[in-house]
Amino acid sequence: MNYLSVENLVKTYGERTLFKDISFGLAKGDKVALIANNGTGKSTLLRILAGQDVADGGEFSFRDGIRVSFLEQEPVLTDDDNITIEAFVREASAEVLAIIRDYEAALENSMSGEEEHLKALERTSILMDAREAWDFDRRLETMLGRFGIHDLNQKVNSLSGGQKKRLAIAITVLDQPEFLILDEPT
């Protein structure tokens, strides 16, 4: 079964047709590169697939339950000149951190032995499994280290363009999407 199915996608800007009748499918494990001249619609196609733009025709769908992440060609990380890498990462990972907090609260409440608290613990454990949150802090440290990011107190906006891109890639990969869309990741 395809992770992504695309049928007859069309995108135009005024009289100019960027692409038409694009159809393809991608399965688990597929790795694909779009190679074409500048201005031919590569980024537009990726933005459409990421839900950040709309096609003029055709349709596409991801398999139900697939977590999709998209990294833009030039990601804007933050406008806040004072935010540190650590604070930025925590903000970007807010969903998984909320799951961890909910689990920790449910674990503490379950000590009462009350059935509703035990059920809450079971629900949050399932979420922890689904998001692979059990070892989040270790994965975070490992991922940032792999991308050469070690000083978490450094301000995000003091990073070079390449360092910002590496931070954006690290955050995107840390989310562990089943389908990852990267627009010129180098």
Q: Tens-digit pLDDT profile for the chain (186 aa)?
A: 899 999 999 999 999 999 999 999 999 999 999 999 988 899 999 999 999 999 999 999 999 989 899 999 888 888 888 899 989 998 888 888 999 999 999 999 999 988 999 999 999 999 999 888 898 888 888 989 999 999 999 999 999 888 999 999 998 988 889 999 999 887
Q: Which domains does the chain have, with CATH numbers?
A: 2-66 (3.40.50.300), 85-176 (no CATH)
Predicted pLDDT of residue 80? 84
- Which candidate, 50, 62, 60, places its Cα nearest to that of 22? 60
Question: Which H or E run includes 58?
Answer: strand 57-62
Q: What pTM was computed for the model?
A: 0.77
Give residue 22's Cα distance to chain centre.
24
Predicted pLDDT of residue 131? 85
Whole-number Å distance between alpha carbons of 144 and 167: 7
Predicted pLDDT of residue 156? 93
Question: Which H or E run includes 6?
Answer: strand 2-13
